[in-house]
Amino acid sequence: MPRSVQHDRHSDRTPSGTRTQAPSPDVAPKKPRRARRSTSAPVAPESWNRMVAEAAYFRAERRGFLGGSPEEDWFAAEAELRASRRT
């Protein structure tokens, strides 16, 4: 007949001295985390477009205006600006 291991409810050790996992309290499951939002103040659409246009221009300038496309520069500039505003 198997012996059940009993332990003091105020201790995390069994009578043999081995540790047991403390009983978990009844807690509601955690909600999934939301995407991190910017802590920066909102930017007016006109200002945002100007910021993106400038960043896209500087990207094209760094590569000597060779290769790439205006659309690729715009999307990359938007991504960079969004990332910089999250931190």
pLDDT digits (tens, 9 = 90+) for 28-77: 667 777 666 656 788 999 999 999 999 999 999 999 999 999 999 999 99
Distance (Å, whole) CA 59 – CA 71: 12
Of 77, 53, 61, 20, residue with least CA distance to 85: 77
Rg of the chain taking only CA atoms, in angstroms: 29
Residue pair 52/82 in contact by the 8 Å Cβ criterion: no
Give the predicted TM-score (pTM) of the model. Answer: 0.54
Hey, what are 45's tokens? 């659409």
Q: Where are the domains of the chain?
A: 45-86
